[in-house]
Amino acid sequence: MKNKILPFSIIIIFGIIFFIFYKGLEDSKIYTPDVNTKKEIPVFNTKEFFSEENVKSSSIFELDKVYLLNIWSSWCVPCRQEHPLLMNLNLENKLNIIGMNYKDNLKNAENFLNELGNPYKEIFIDLDGTIAIEWGAYGVPESFLIYNNEIIKKYIGPLNQELVDEINLFIK
């Protein structure tokens, strides 16, 4: 009897271990950010894009207004793709689009805006990428839908028509 329990239990234990590791293989090994949890927006100090004057985050984001914070850069190719969509979104008066210029050469960034238009109500600069980290961003482009100083939703990567429709739905 004793001799039978031992091999049997070994098989079961290895079976369980195998199952756990096998399940583990299916998990994503790539960072998948949490896009739906509401979070307070961070507090930071930065510079305004055109005037290069110091601004506080609290003076940019007001309560009771919907904002779309868009992280962009002139060297980022997908930003170029989503830019026309931002221009269209800007036609909706209820949405305030704020730009965060990420690790960019300011001259190039200005050329980018001259070429493709400026959909942003306000732009601030993030020269060393530290403000983007405060926001929990890890690349460009990224967009944050903000209402009442809370991040409602995070969009990673370039916006597309589907997401724009979703944003429009939210504004209405």
Partner 1 sequence: MKYLKFFLIVIMLFPLSSINAEENDKRNKITKNLRCLICQGQSVYDSDSEFANSLKIVVDKKLQEGFSEYQIYEYFKTKYGEWILYDPGLNKNTYILWLLPILIFLIGGAIIYRSFIVKK
In total, the chain counts a number of residues equal to 172
CB of 148 to partner 1, least distance (A): 19
* Adjacent-strand bridge partners of 70: 99, 143
Which CB atom, from 80 or from 103, has the smaller least distance to partner 1? 103
Per DSSP, the chain holds a count of helices (H) and strands (E) of 6, 8
Which CB atom, from 13 or from 94, has the smaller least distance to partner 1? 13
- In angstroms, rounded to a whole number, what is the distance separating the alpha carbons of residues 167 and 147? 12
- In angstroms, rounded to a whole number, what is the distance separating the alpha carbons of residues 62 and 65? 6
The packing angle between helices 106-116 and 77-91, to 10°, is 50
9 three-class SS: helix
Q: Which stretch binds partner 1 (CB under 8 A): 81-89, 132-140, 147-155, 160-168?
A: 132-140
Does residue number 13 form part of the binding site for partner 1 (CB under 8 A)?
Answer: yes
Does residue number 15 form part of the binding site for partner 1 (CB under 8 A)?
Answer: no
Does residue number 20 form part of the binding site for partner 1 (CB under 8 A)?
Answer: yes
Task: Give the residue, chosen from 11, 15, 19, 33, that forms a contact with partner 1 under the rule CB under 8 A.
Answer: 33
Name which of residues 86 to 105 contact partner 1 (CB under 8 A). Answer: 103
- In angstroms, rounded to a whole number, what is the distance separating the alpha carbons of residues 120 and 74? 14
Does residue number 139 form part of the binding site for partner 1 (CB under 8 A)?
Answer: yes
Per CB under 8 A, residues contacting partner 1 are 6, 10, 13, 17, 20, 29-34, 103, 128-130, 132-134, 136, 138-139
